[in-house]
Amino acid sequence: IFKKLGSICWREIHLRFLTFLIIEIKFRKTVRSVEPSTDKVIPDAVVLDQLMNLVQALSEAIPPGHPRVKPSPRLQQQQASTAQQLMQRVLGYSIVRGPSLVGGRGVNVAGSKAVCCSQLVGLYPGAIYLPYQPILLQSVGNPFIFRCADGILIDGNDKSISRMMYRSCSGRDRVGIHELADSSWLTEFPQNPLNVGQYVNNQSKGFPSNVCYHEITLEPGLIPITQRRFLPNLWYSTSEGRSVADVPLRLVALVATRDISPGEELFSDYFTIAH
């Protein structure tokens, strides 16, 4: 028992230290290495255009909820179903969580049409932390922390202290009746089907990656406040005196690197080096 617990603890902790991370990368056979000029398969504007088209459709079909009334599970399920249908209409496909080919659960392409190369297939949700902000407690036993190229961290865990922290920040950032971030990704029924990027599994032998991570900075005003409720990210803390609506927002999109057939599972590369 102690040997098994020790193995689990080692697997969870050793990647948090730079020396071990360098060794891990050196001996991995599935590291993705890119130059800055080729790190993004398509321009930010193209990704944002796809995202805003879907968000616009979602905002027209799904009314905002009352801040003090929790929606019933039935309503959540209905809204999630509506969102899936809208995604298929706007983007031509949708994505759903389901059984994975590598065990556990993953994310699969749904619908009757294939995803074309360079299309948006997901967003990585969670609270955003600057490199110097406290995240140690949230990181213990947490496999869903995404590290951006500039050191910014996104906590995509939907359980435990990470869940409580996200909900607390979401309530803090509310502007009147308007939520500035999606909280439905914490449930089984996300109002934006894209907001499940943290569940995309890592590539492995026999299952090469078919999507890549695409970091974007969303400038204030680019998306109306009334539509921010479909974006799955918020800042853990912002500079004193600055409104959340006036601060650029970090998004991490998942973009297809090749055509992906209906029913096919999405795989990314957890280890990408930007030179």
- Which CATH number goes with the domain that contains 198? 2.170.270.10
Q: Specify the pTM.
A: 0.86
Quickly count: other Cβ atoms within 10 Å of residue 31's Cβ.
14
**Per-residue pLDDT at 116 exceeds 90:** yes
Per-residue model confidence (pLDDT) at position 16: 44
In a domain, 7, yes or no: no
pLDDT band at 39 (very low <50, low <70, confident <90, very high): low
**Close Cβ partners of 180 (under 8 Å, ≥ 6 residues apart):** 170, 173, 174, 225, 228, 229, 234, 244, 245
User: Does residue 190 lie in a domain region?
Assistant: yes
Residue 152 belongs to some domain of the structure: yes
The range of the structural domain enclosing residue 248 comes to 31-274
Structure tokens at 146: 């995404």
Instruction: Look at the chain and report how many structural domains it folds into.
Output: 1
Rounded to an integer, what distance in angstroms lies between the CA atom of residue 196 and that of residue 121?
A: 10
| Contact indicator for 269, 202 with CB cutoff of 8 Å | yes
pLDDT digits (tens, 9 = 90+) for 120-171: 999 999 999 999 999 999 999 999 999 999 999 999 999 999 999 999 999 9
- Tell me if 129 is assigned to some domain: yes
Residue 10 falls inside a structural domain: no
69 Cβ partners below 8 Å, 6+ apart? Answer: none
94: in domain:
yes
Q: Is residue 148 part of a domain?
A: yes
Is the predicted pLDDT of residue 103 greater than 70, yes or no?
A: yes
> Does residue 175 fall inside a structural domain?
yes
